[in-house]
Structures are given as C-alpha cells and as structure tokens.
Amino acid sequence: MAAGPNGQRIDPVYIAAKELSPGVWSSGTCFMHQIVVRNCAVDLNLNGLADPPDIEWYLEDFAASLPEADLTTDGMVNSDDLDVFVEAYLSGE
C-alpha cells in the first residue's frame, strides 16, 4: 500500500472468522479501519500545516487521556507524549 497526499483516507476492509471447535467456524465478521495519511505528524486537522488549531486539538485529546494522545504508544497518556508532540510541532514534522 502506498501513501498518498496529506489527508488522504485509506479504508482497508477484511473478513475474519473464528474456529469455535475443530472444524466448526463462526460466521465471518467484517472489519474496516480508516487510515489517514499525514505528511506532518502533528497536522491533526489535515490542513497541511502544523498550526495553533493542531495544538488545541492535541491538548483536548491529551487532557481527556484519549488513546490518540498516546504518541509514545506505551499505553499511557503522560508528559512523555506531550514532549513528543511539542518536539514534532516545533520541528514541523
């Protein structure tokens, strides 16, 4: 899968079944995940820029301890995540 322009959405879909017992399978369940391509990791509003609205958006997610604010992917929302955001924002990445 190739990455496209900033803000492009990719919607992969797959079907999975679970083996309930030997030779007996559940009916398939359809899953879909939306992937948003960002060329700038802190461009949360997808306008192509790292700008003040992105800071506001991140701080709201951070204050609510939303999983989206866990930038270190360690399962916790804490000051380490805020440090990652600030560093990326200041570098324009």
- pLDDT tens, 50-69? 899 999 999 999 999 999 89
Do 48 and 10 belong together in one domain? no
Range of the domain at 46: 41-93
Do 29 and 61 belong together in one domain? no
Do 49 and 26 belong together in one domain? no
For residues 42 and 54, the answer to whether their CB atoms sit within 8 Å is yes
- pLDDT tens, 21-59? 898 888 877 777 777 666 677 888 878 788 999 999 999
Instruction: Using a cut of 0.75, tell me whether the model's pTM lies above it.
Output: no
For residues 64 and 79, the answer to whether their CB atoms sit within 8 Å is no
Do 30 and 58 belong together in one domain? no
φ/ψ (deg, to 5) at 16:
-130, 150
Q: How many domains does the chain have?
A: 2
Q: How far apart are CA 30 and CA 11, in angstroms?
A: 13
Do 21 and 52 belong together in one domain? no
Q: How far apart are CA 79 and CA 91, in angstroms?
A: 18
